């Protein structure tokens, strides 16, 4: 089984954050970048991967995703900055 990944994506201006879970980070980011995913990420042009973290299994990933989604923006931003202080696109 593949590792699960919890990720945070944002738009170019960094004013919108999306938290998600996937078992194939490259594919999922590519889907967002090409606008194939309808809804929030397409509407707000969320295409820039700024944070990711591996989880050992789907249950742990979903638990972590829900935890992060419950945080205020400031705490999410601080998490991103632990891995990516310049908010660069990590998918490049």
Segment 16-31, tens digit of pLDDT: 999 999 999 999 999 9
Q: In what order do the strands lie in the sheet with 17-22?
A: 17-22, 4-10, 48-55
Rounded to 5°, angle at Cα 65 from 27 and 55: 65
Tell me the CATH class for 4-83.
alpha beta
Query: What pLDDT tens digit does each residue of the chain (92 aa) get?
Result: 568 999 999 999 999 999 999 999 999 999 999 988 889 999 999 999 999 999 999 999 999 999 999 999 999 999 999 999 999 999 98
Domain boundaries, the chain: 4-83
Length of the chain in terms of residues written = 92
């Amino acid at each position: 089984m593949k590792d699960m990944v919890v990720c945070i994506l944002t738009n170019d201006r960094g004013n919108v954050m999306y938290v998600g879970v996937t078992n194939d980070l490259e594919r999922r980011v590519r889907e967002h970048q090409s606008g194939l995913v309808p809804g929030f990420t397409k509407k707000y042009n969320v295409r820039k991967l700024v944070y990711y973290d591996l989880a050992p299994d789907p249950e742990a990933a979903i638990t972590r995703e829900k935890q992060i989604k419950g945080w205020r923006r400031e705490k999410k931003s601080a998490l991103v900055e632990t891995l990516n202080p310049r908010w660069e696109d990590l998918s490049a």
